[in-house]
Amino acid sequence: MFNTIIFPVIYGLVIFLAGMKIMETALGSWAGPLLSSFLRKATSSPLKGMLFSTGITAILQSSTAVTVLTMGLVNAGLLTYERTLGIILGTNIGTCITTELIGLQIGQIALPLLGVSGLAWTFAVIADEYKPFFMRACAHLWRPIQLISLAIAGFALVMLGIRVMQMIGPPLENTGLFGWFIAQAAHNVWWGITAGAVLTALMHSSAAVIGLAIALAASGTLPVGIGIAIVLGANVGTCVTAVIAAIGSTKSGQFVAWTHVVLNLGGALLFMPFIEQLQWLSAALSADDGAQIARAQTLFNIICSAAALPLCYLPIWRKLRIGK
């Protein structure tokens, strides 16, 4: 069992999380310095805040980074609580790009993509270091190219990690424990939701948990309905990092963190009775089991954010003043 299940999961998750961290760090170094000023300018209304947050989260590949930065701006008094509501909704939508890319099952190009990005990074580093006279006009491009190449390499590692984790599919089918879990989850959706929430809270990465669910569904091991329940749970578990960041924060920052929890938990509870309908809708968009889970994740976040957006315009938020 260790060689066929435990080791591939650990090995695959290490590669996956390393890729996520490389991608997040590279993109954060590239776009991060401008993020604070952009957030203040682009949050004049909840809708603008949601659209901006969706885009910046998709670029940075980390809803946690955007949420924690938002809490920091609120703590510093640079952003009012009212302006954070749209940002929180947008982070949930922005994270879907990762799972959508995973759902495309393009892991076959992971190694070539890693090689190409490595060559591009090496070329940019050498050009930046030696600055050949015939390339001096492009000198300002080498640093961004280095960071973008690292981000692409990180994405390639994410895809490679998913391929490694897919190897556990057949061995898992032969274990009675996994079959028992699926049987329990088929009777009670709370099993799937709890699994998604707990695993995400432990790994601090909803993308890793949803990626594993996509991998297992693509290999035919995990039923799509249970995978969707895991998605709902993962969206709850991802709030743990924001709650941890709220420790020692101001009351405003804590309020932002708990608003994130309420929105994600409320969305999961709202969709829990409609998992079959969500599965039907995602199946209409894709015939592949793994891709259906990615579609469900996107639909869930878009519908929840769109439903909650009108509430952000209520006058109570303008009047609310939370002390330090």
Please indicate, yes or no, if residue 46 is contained in any of the structural domains. yes
Nearest Cα neighbor of 98 from 154, 45, 39, 141 is 154
Please indicate, yes or no, if residue 324 is contained in any of the structural domains. no
Cβ contact 71:246 at 8 Å:
yes
pLDDT digits over 216-252, tens only? 888 777 888 888 998 898 888 888 767 776 776 677 7
User: Which whole-number Å values give the CA distances from 184 to 127, 189, 226, 238, in the listed order?
Assistant: 58, 8, 10, 24
Average pLDDT over residues 41-46: 74
Cβ contact 113:159 at 8 Å:
yes
Determine the Cα–Cα distance for residues 323 and 312; give it in Å rounded to an integer: 20
Please indicate, yes or no, if residue 166 is contained in any of the structural domains. yes
% of the chain surpassing 90 pLDDT: 3
Determine the Cα–Cα distance for residues 129 and 175; give it in Å rounded to an integer: 54
What is the band of 180 on the pLDDT scale with cuts at 50, 70, 90? low
Please indicate, yes or no, if residue 121 is contained in any of the structural domains. yes
% of the chain surpassing 70 pLDDT: 72
Q: How many CB atoms lie within 10 A of CB 174?
A: 11
Q: Structural domain of residue 122, as residue ranges?
A: 2-319
Domain count, the chain: 1
| Residue 39 CB-density burial (10 A; 0-12 exposed, 13-18 middle, 19+ buried) | buried
Determine the Cα–Cα distance for residues 3 and 35; give it in Å rounded to an integer: 44
Please indicate, yes or no, if residue 252 is contained in any of the structural domains. yes
What is the band of 106 on the pLDDT scale with cuts at 50, 70, 90? low
Cβ contact 57:63 at 8 Å:
yes
Query: Does 304 have pLDDT greater than 80?
Result: yes
Helical H runs in the chain?
Answer: 7-41, 46-60, 63-75, 81-94, 96-103, 110-130, 142-166, 169-173, 176-187, 190-203, 206-218, 224-237, 239-245, 251-271, 275-285, 289-308, 316-319
- The token duo for 95 is 């994270």
Nearest Cα neighbor of 60 from 26, 16, 83, 37 is 26
Please indicate, yes or no, if residue 223 is contained in any of the structural domains. yes
> In the prediction, which pLDDT does 280 show?
92
Please indicate, yes or no, if residue 303 is contained in any of the structural domains. yes
pTM summary value? 0.71
CA angle 204, 207, 209 (to 5 degrees): 75
Give 207 or 150, the one with higher predicted confidence.
150
Q: Give the DSSP letter string of 210-230.
A: HHHHHHHHHTTSS-HHHHHHH
DSSP secondary-structure letter at 64? H
Nearest Cα neighbor of 172 from 221, 230, 213, 217 is 221
Side-chain-side CA neighbours of residue 15 (13 Å) = 23
Determine the Cα–Cα distance for residues 291 and 101; give it in Å rounded to an integer: 9
Please indicate, yes or no, if residue 24 is contained in any of the structural domains. yes
Determine the Cα–Cα distance for residues 112 and 160; give it in Å rounded to an integer: 11
Cβ contact 67:242 at 8 Å:
yes
Between the ranges 22-26, 43-47, 241-245, where is the mean pLDDT highest?
43-47
